[in-house]
Amino acid sequence: MSTTTPSLEAAKGRSELPQVYNNYIGGRWVKAKNGETFPSTSPANVNEVVGHFASSGPEDVKAAVDAAAKAFPAWKHTPAPARADIILKAAYILETRKEEIARTMVREMGKVIKEARGDVQEAIDMAKYMAGEGRRLFGHTCPSEMPDKFAMAIRQPLGVVGLITPWNFPVAIPSWKMFPALVAGNTVVFKPATDTPLCALMLVEVMIEAGLPAGVLNFVTGAGSKVGNAIVDDPRVRAISVTGSTEVGRKIAGRCGELMKRISCELGGKNAVCVMDDADMDLVIEGAVWGAFGTAGQRCTAASRVIVHKSRYKEFLDKFVARTKALKLGNGLDPVNEVGPVINKEQLKSINEYVEIGLKEGAKLMCGGKIVEDGELGKGCFHEPTIFADVKADMRIAQEEIFGPVTAVIPVESFEEMLEVANGTQFGLSLSMYTRDINRAFKAMDELESGIVYINAPTIGAEIQLPFGGIKQTGNGHREAGITAIEQFTEWKAIYVDYSGKLQKAQIDNHPANSAE
Ligand code: NAD
């Protein structure tokens, strides 16, 4: 198996700027078979082209699955600790390239530089954690009911797996899927979001440099409807792991259901920070601002609702609005800026439509609400951080994922009502409660209906060593990260070894009454 490591230069089809980048299939950088490309542009200035990428089709996916299927037997039989060594090496390479990748991420995705560094750091953390899994991949042994019989269950890789990722964490989210998939012995076809192919390509490049054999990781860029669909439909792809919108996840999960294919979905959210009457208000304000406007509200865990006890409502609103108005909006490469652009013009329009919806529904606009159209920022996709007050729990802006810097503040009368409102959406990803009352804190941990709960911290800030994912329409029962990440990418095999030298019939021989005439 080849372990040559083509450099990033080899990914480029020609040398003049902006660069053209190719797919990576079977250990080679190759153009889309149709020869077509699409541009990736910077959300801070849509006239700036970051690169051109292969606009692939089903025929490229077929080639990628061919390569992944061919590479699977050897990769499966590579000892897991040796697979893990490559992932650990990737962690070290990511560390040395962290600043370069983070700066590319700011250009291509828009998040501010310190968050971009955090995104790469998350991939480093995941690589180190999953490298340790190479010497675990724990199975079970258990007693047999029969004498001289051994019983155990081991994990095995699935085969070829398809990874479909969004643009909001363009390095971290692919790493959450890729590292556990690879350490478990699967081979991969990876399709990143069309808004962030360069970040994804840099991650692939790191894996090649780390020594991943040809065909083990294959990278195909292009539209979800062409590339994503073709990955899902290929019968040799044994599992799909997708992070994206609930709409897309539902479609893919439906198709996987028909094909009897394993599917793990990480989808939308409508997360809330809950503020009880005894909360530390300064802590709340910092947390709510970070939760609502970090990554310009484009986190699946963003605090797009803040539910506040009426006794602290005015105090909260005054401070929250003042702090939000002071946020610095601008290009994420300038470290003074706190909020960057949103991903593209289409998303910008969709966010602003929600502002119109909120106004029509009778919510009170406290600040923001506009697309920035003038000056340097007017060249990009900047939306003012926006707060709606006096929001009712059933309004669309309190129910639907907006995925931008817009949050809805909802007043409530009691702790019980707070829980009811917090739980009253179709989503269940991340909920947080600010209170100094230990009894209420534990009640909240128990009653909040979400995959992630924070006490005295905002809805964002997950660490990679705990399970990550949501309930209800956010997910379909799987969890990424932590020890649970391996579950998605392994199949259990139960094994019985009978060393008694005779036929032993379980449930019969050791129950004499069962054999009675
Ligand atoms: P999206 O649903 O538009 O796209 C996600 C991925 O699916 C992309 O790679 C896209 O090309 C692909 N895709 C689209 N249609 C497809 C199809 N028919 N078949 C196969 N693949 C297809 O999402 P996005 O705009 O990239 O990301 C934002 C969404 O992701 C938000 O809803 C956000 O909440 C969600 N998200 C969830 C989590 C989580 O862990 N729960 C984390 C981050 C983002």
389 φ, ψ (degrees, to nearest 5): -115, 175
Residue 7 has pLDDT above 60, yes or no: no
Looking at the structure, tell me whether residues 56 and 173 fall in a common domain.
yes
For the CA of 192, the nearest atom of ligand 1:
9
Alpha-carbon dihedral 443, 445, 451, 452, rounded to 10 degrees: 140
The amino acid sitting at 75 is W
The answer to whether residue 3 is domain-embedded is no
CATH number at residue 294: 3.40.309.10
Same domain, 162 and 138: yes
Report the DSSP pairing between strands 406-412 and 386-389.
Answer: parallel
CA 314 to ligand 1 center in whole angstroms: 37
Q: Residues 127-154: what's their mean pLDDT?
A: 97
Say how many Å lie between the first and final Cα of the chain, rounded.
Answer: 61
Q: Which amino acid is at 213?
A: P
Q: Is residue 463 part of a domain?
A: no
H helices, E strands: number in the chain: 14, 22
Tell whether 507 is covered by a domain. Answer: no
Mean pLDDT value of segment 360-380: 97
Residue 352 inside a domain? The answer is yes
Task: State in Å: Cα 388 to ligand 1 middle.
Answer: 26
Q: And the tokens for 71?
A: 């590479």
Annotated catalytic residue within 115, 122, 266, 401: 266
Confidence bin at 3 (pLDDT 50/70/90): very low
pLDDT band per the 50, 70, 90 thresholds, residue 388: very high
Cis omega before residue 411 (within 30°)?
Answer: no
- Cβ of 368 less than 6 Å from ligand 1: no
Residue among 245, 252, 263 whose CB has most ligand 1 atoms within 8 A, to mutate = 245
Query: In this structure, what token pair is assigned to residue 436?
Result: 């100094």
% residues pLDDT > 70 (the chain): 97
Three-state SS for 47?
Answer: strand
Considering the domain architecture, whether residues 319 and 251 belong to the same structural domain is answered as: no
The reply to whether ligand 1 has any atom less than 6 angstroms from the CB of 462 is no
> Judging by beta carbons within 10 Å of its beta carbon (0-12, 13-18, 19+), is residue 259 exposed, middle or buried?
middle
pLDDT digits (tens, 9 = 90+) for 457-513: 999 999 999 999 999 999 999 999 999 999 999 999 999 999 999 999 999 998 888
Nearest Cα to 142, choosing from 131, 134, 153? 153
Q: Hey, which of 40, 108, 196, 300 would you mutate to test ligand 1's pocket, going by the most ligand atoms within 8 Å of its Cβ?
A: 300
- How many distinct structural domains can be found in the chain? 2
**Separation of CA 436 and ligand 1 centre (Å):** 37
Q: Is 224 in the pocket of ligand 1 (CB under 6 A)?
A: yes
Per-residue pLDDT at 371 exceeds 60: yes
Q: Is residue 503 part of a domain?
A: no
Ligand 1 centre and the CA of 265: distance in Å? 9
**Do 409 and 480 fall into the same domain?**
no
| 180 and 158 in a common domain | yes
With 0-12 CB in 10 A as exposed, 13-18 as middle and 19+ as buried, what is 142?
Answer: exposed
User: pLDDT per residue over 77-109, tens digit each?
Assistant: 999 999 999 999 999 999 999 999 999 999 999
For a substitution probing ligand 1, which of 227, 243, 452 has the most ligand atoms within 8 Å of its CB? Answer: 243
Residues 155, 72 within the same domain:
yes
The predicted model gives 53-73 an average pLDDT of: 98
> Is there a single domain that holds both residue 59 and residue 178?
yes
Domain range spanning residue 325? 272-455
Q: Helix (H, G, I), strand (E, B), or coil: what is residue 168?
A: coil
Question: Do 258 and 276 lie in a common domain?
Answer: no
CA of 191 to the centre of ligand 1 (A): 11
The answer, yes or no, to whether any atom of ligand 1 lies below 6 A from the CB of 267, is yes
**Exposed, middle or buried: residue 452 (CB in 10 Å: 0-12, 13-18, 19+)?**
buried
Question: Which atom of ligand 1 lies closest to the CA of 194?
Answer: 11
Task: Determine the atom of ligand 1 nearest the C-alpha atom of 475.
Answer: 41
From 256, 300, 381, 401, active-site residue: 300
Please indicate, yes or no, if residue 470 is contained in any of the structural domains: no
Residue ranges with strand state E in 80-148 = 140-143
Per-residue pLDDT of 252-284, as tens digits, reads 999 999 999 999 999 999 999 999 999 999 999
118 and 226 co-located in one domain: yes
Region at 499 (left for phi over 0; alpha for psi -120 to 50; beta for the rest): alpha
Binned at pLDDT 50, 70 and 90, residue 514 comes out as: confident
3-class secondary structure for 15-45? CCCCCEECEEECCEEECCCCCCEEEEEECCE
The pairing of strands 303-309 and 271-275 is: parallel
Residue 513 placed within a domain: no
The answer on 134 and 87 residing in a single domain is yes
Closest atom of ligand 1 to 245 CA is 32
Burial class, 116, CB count within 10 angstroms (exposed 0-12 / middle 13-18 / buried 19+): buried
381 is a catalytic site residue: no
CATH number (domain holding residue 163): 3.40.605.10
Report the distance separating Cα 433 and Cα 75, nearest Å: 45
Distance between CA 25 and CA 159 in Å, rounded?
Answer: 17
SS3 content of the chain, % helix, strand, coil (to 5): 40, 25, 35
42 and 86 in one domain? yes
Q: Do 54 and 200 reside in the same domain of the chain?
A: yes
- Is 99 among the catalytic positions? no
192 in Cβ contact with 174 (< 8 Å): yes
Residues 6+ apart with CB under 8 A from 292: 273, 302, 303, 304, 306, 324, 385, 387, 405, 407
Q: Is 295 in the pocket of ligand 1 (CB under 6 A)?
A: no
Is ligand 1 within 6 A of the CB of residue 340? no
Q: Which atom of ligand 1 is nearest to the CA of 246?
A: 32
Distance of CA 193 to the CA centre of its chain: 12
In a domain, 465, yes or no: no
DSSP 311: G
Whether the per-residue pLDDT at 12 is higher than 90: the answer is no
